[in-house]
Structure 1
């Protein structure tokens, strides 16, 4: 007698989220509900919800209800995007998987109904006709995030045709009320620009074909109730944790069914499975929230809960790029280190230009040897001086790239990713080194290891300055982006194994590699090459939809910005950079004594509040006035908070009226006080009555700032009624400290 296939309803719940799955009758898991917590359920209720999810029969549709699994299957009648697209010599393109085992956290599911907290449901299925096996993992994390991935395996015998995988994408359903899309556009120097549109019938698909995440990556593709904001409105979003080619999509069918999905975007022939071989998709993360802040908090809490998440205080970092560019003069760089130490910098990073032939962007990439002409005594004297000053030393690499004008390219032209015997069009005068080739991988690993062995280097700024175009392996012509991405991960992981404590920053023409794949191997990302604070206000605002502030490189720019040519006061530059992992990108040798004093005060303020900024919940207030951004970090126990008022333009009314401070404990009483850092009052600033004494507090500002008496109100009053906004010139940041008042 043939045993019955595993069959169960599974209800997972954590952090205010429920995921109710139907894995009955030997079929792949289907989502009955993904969203707000349902509370305790019974098997009877679960079955009733499954029945309630069956649509009525209407003319000219399938005779049976179309069942949407997390891996959407055409054989069920699903006419949307299929989950698995592939074939074996033109056949086996529409598999019908039947479940053979079902486990929760590694234990077989025995009963017809399982209700539990976070954990992993693993479904194994097979199609003997198509000679394929499937493993589908669905996990509810403690933060309320859902993530899922699939592994497809060829079970064909020896000599059978290869199974060519074109696509393996997973999908999560969303309710019909979620009819507004939010995703992100962007370009170099202006990453993650939000854009909204209605979700109509059809597919909204965002493809990344650049071999890296891309400045215009969807980052998180969300759909929600029309008008959803930071603090309210249900919203569902997905993110593909992969740094190579990828896709996200939102689809609504003529039946009203709608899904969010995504996966790796595979180039032709990248995954061809021989007998016994497998391909595993990247994790697809799903984040539900009542408002974008709750959605973001689920990502942040998950990331902060990982063993590999950086927990030591994020050191104040000075990067020398915009101070010296390629003009590396040892004496000047030592002087810059001494200026940096004097203002409280804790990490000093030597950027591009230290290696052989690298006097500009056209030559030298791949020649990872210290340039003897510029550094006749090696990097040792600079490294020693930096560490003697009490700072860590960091160094720039671009391991995945090569200049055609380099000793490496001349010796091994076959190591360049290329198609049909032709080099791809150059970008930034460089090509891509094929790390999928063991010889090329071993060379880069050996050279980086040699440098890290020789010098006391605590940190790598890891750059990636061009898209992967015509990225094939010579001489076979096989597409190489998939292998290149895995090799980059492997190179990072190997270096971290060899050098415990080494930290890595993911930089890619600025913010073109920001995703949950690369962050498994790195300790922060570079948000953008543009550190104009006005531009950074928007970019940080939306990058925090995925990553918490401590993972975002945020530097204080020069007085005249190198990217936009704008001039900004130090208070705006520093106040903007404070909300992240603070750094400096400025030739301090050219700063005035007053600027250096104020800069030291900003650094001291950051060092005194970074624990709050880097462990608290990110809060962003909704406002009808786009010229005032109100955001901050609220401690987990709600006893402390730091809020920022960023005046990014001029309002159509004056005074502006009230702003609110959400995210505090409603019944607690809080004192709200302005934080004043500069020694002189900020011009163009007028504090309202509630902040009486703020102007006079400027003269008393100490190294870590000081605060005016302020006002005492409940968290509910601050969130619902708010305070009158200060009067301010545009391009200013004001900071408020909010602390619980001790009981009388």
Structure 2
């Protein structure tokens, strides 16, 4: 450990920098944003704001552990008490440690504090992509118990961050952005669903005026946690030290959920902070690079999936499912996932959850005959589970009613006729792990679809000593269960689904290989949901499936070509009943499957870009190879516009100094137009154009009819 005062520590990587002054009693952040280079002198000298009228007599400080002691009247980093006492944290720096790699890129800063019987720490780690991970912890070093009510990672942002964007949503309409001025007071988003939820804030971004996909500075935060969350942005009239405001996040704790006995430590979920000087696509690029650099990140080609849910629902029949697999083989499917309905007593959503045994009434010879059919076609086999849930109409609930999460006075309302299993109980945990392990081993299961279809309400665990809030315990038990299952079956892949996109965060993605972004396969809704999901999650980790012509969730009818185009640019799959498809439809789906395999290396490694357009009835999104050699763009229209045509549209992410061959790919069928003729360059395609024309000047694009899409393949020639 190093000690000392008034040292300035700078972590720098990827054009971003994080600078802290080591001072007493608590260090302070001097800068978080663009890399300032080596010229850091003057930051500390300019870090003290004015002393205002009717204010504390010393300059207010916004430290790394914001508290009232320093004149900070906003939300403190730490809230808690020792039986009603010690309610005002006063941490004092005890030591600090700095680790910077030999190449000077990124690094780690650990700060340790003491405070009235508590030991606490904050760790900052800047990776080589410019993503700053912040982890806080508090240990009770005294004999009396300490109740922790909250621990937030907070960072200051400058005056020019004047707008906020975060997300809301509902089932089948997840990650809908909402923008607001960054005004005075507290912008607080707190989830109380036992998980992030369909309305999760997801990513809180503060930015310069009118920041967009490709423009403006953005300061963003994401809580990598699958339990309850708390995001805030706060601006006080007196500012935050030398800064204007603060943003941050942390776990949302229920009253009494964390009571630390002597020697116990609470470690908060990691919060990721990202600065970008190139809009929200810049934020996405940093996060995607970070995820792709993980040791456990998937590197094998993402197989084309067929999930049986919307094709057959609960109607499990070997002959019918065999016919579906045979049709799937003709179009190039590489993985079959048998969804809900295979286990004991599960003929609809009212019963069976918890009884994870193959139903002999439906599968008299077990699952093995079906698994053999799948393997005979060279496909992987996947299986659906919802391990954290239970129906009252199940042997599990009848035999172990005390395993259900909820108060002893009586359970509250069911949701989808189900309740939550208290998986933090050792006996319930052991049962689940045993059943999952046995089924994966018995059938050499390649892939699990792990569902979680309801919110947690009155989430308390029952014991002989009473009832305690248990969302945190439930979340940690989930993590242990996933970790142990993966340890026993290292090749197993897991998809996280939570009524669709109700649990999409980087905590769950540390343990899974794919997210199900939404239960909505309607491409009009799906295109919007996935566009914003990609701000955090790279395309190869987002499942996107072809659904029926008439959407099962919205009843909207769309063309096959549009549905295929939207589901192409992620981890593609199928839920449509292929046994009901015509030969012409199957041929088009097979062509789409071939396109997916052709572009898969690009789609699953490239950089996501979005054009900034004045008209939100249209969208141009693309994925550009990291070396700039190739790109695939999707030009789509959601609805009609007042204007008859768009004028010149710029293709982001291309090199202005290069030349590109541009091809309109119509293997899925030509998009329907609302015009007499295309712009002339489209009619002449394939065509070679300069990067300056494509990326700087832009080109006019066809006026499509609503719910139509066009694929544009761009390859560098020089």
Matches of residues 140-539 of structure 1 in structure 2 within 5 Å? 140-156=126-142, 160-257=143-240, 258-290=245-277, 291-475=279-463, 476-539=466-529
Which residue does 2:661 correspond to in 1? Answer: 671
The reply on whether 1:690 has 2:681 as its aligned counterpart is yes
- Alignment check: 8 A CA contact 1:72 1:170 kept: no
Count the aligned residue pairs: 709
C-alpha distance in 2, partners of 1:619/1:71?
A: 36
Unpaired runs of 5+ in structure 2?
none
The reply on whether 1:89 has 2:83 as its aligned counterpart is yes
Q: Select the residue among 52, 63, 73 that pairs with 2:57.
A: 63
Q: Cα gap change, 1:369/1:56 in structure 2, threshold over 3 Å: closer, same or farther?
A: same
TM-score (norm 1): 0.93
The reply on whether 1:591 has 2:584 as its aligned counterpart is no
C-alpha RMSD of the superposition? 1.6
What SS does structure 1 have at the residue aligned with 2:351?
coil
- Alignment check: 8 A CA contact 1:97 1:126 kept: yes
C-alpha distance in 2, partners of 1:292/1:681?
A: 29
C-alpha distance in 2, partners of 1:725/1:319?
A: 35
Q: Give the Å deviation of 1:93.
A: 1.6
Which residue does 1:704 correspond to in 2? Answer: none
What SS does structure 2 have at the residue aligned with 1:171?
strand
Q: Give the Å deviation of 1:456.
A: 2.1
Q: Give the Å deviation of 1:500.
A: 1.2
C-alpha distance in 1, partners of 2:82/2:251?
A: 20
Q: Give the Å deviation of 1:92.
A: 1.6
The reply on whether 1:136 has 2:117 as its aligned counterpart is no
Q: Give the Å deviation of 1:448.
A: 0.7
C-alpha distance in 2, partners of 1:121/1:428?
A: 47
C-alpha distance in 1, partners of 2:298/2:135?
A: 26
- Alignment check: 8 A CA contact 2:4 2:22 kept: no
What SS does structure 1 have at the residue aligned with 2:247?
strand
Which residue does 2:12 correspond to in 1? Answer: 13
Q: Give the Å deviation of 1:146.
A: 1.0
C-alpha distance in 2, partners of 1:680/1:66?
A: 63
What SS does structure 1 have at the residue aligned with 2:359?
coil
Q: Give the Å deviation of 1:679.
A: 6.0
- Alignment check: 8 A CA contact 2:100 2:107 kept: no
Once the two structures are superposed, what CA deviation does each residue of 1:288-311 show, in whole Å capped at 9, x if it has no partner? 112111011111110011011111
Which residue does 1:709 correspond to in 2? Answer: 686
Q: Give the Å deviation of 1:287.
A: 1.1
- Alignment check: 8 A CA contact 1:370 1:379 kept: yes
Which residue does 2:704 correspond to in 1? Answer: 728
C-alpha distance in 2, partners of 1:716/1:539?
A: 31
Which residue does 1:110 correspond to in 2? Answer: none
Deviation larger for 263-272 or 373-382: 263-272
C-alpha distance in 1, partners of 2:362/2:408?
A: 39
The reply on whether 1:105 has 2:93 as its aligned counterpart is no
C-alpha distance in 2, partners of 1:546/1:174?
A: 21
Unpaired runs of 5+ in structure 1?
108-113, 694-707
- Alignment check: 8 A CA contact 2:670 2:710 kept: no
Once the two structures are superposed, what CA deviation does each residue of 1:245-293 show, in whole Å capped at 9, x if it has no partner? 1110000011133100110011111111111110000011111112111
C-alpha distance in 1, partners of 2:189/2:334?
A: 40
Q: Give the Å deviation of 1:352.
A: 0.5
- Alignment check: 8 A CA contact 1:6 1:102 kept: no
Q: Cα gap change, 1:690/1:268 in structure 2, threshold over 3 Å: closer, same or farther?
A: same
Which residue does 2:694 correspond to in 1? Answer: 718
C-alpha distance in 2, partners of 1:672/1:680?
A: 16
TM-score (norm 2): 0.97
Q: Give the Å deviation of 1:4.
A: 6.6
The reply on whether 1:30 has 2:17 as its aligned counterpart is no
Q: Give the Å deviation of 1:680.
A: 6.8
- Alignment check: 8 A CA contact 2:671 2:710 kept: no
- Alignment check: 8 A CA contact 1:5 1:99 kept: no
Which residue does 2:713 correspond to in 1? Answer: 737
- Alignment check: 8 A CA contact 1:672 1:737 kept: yes
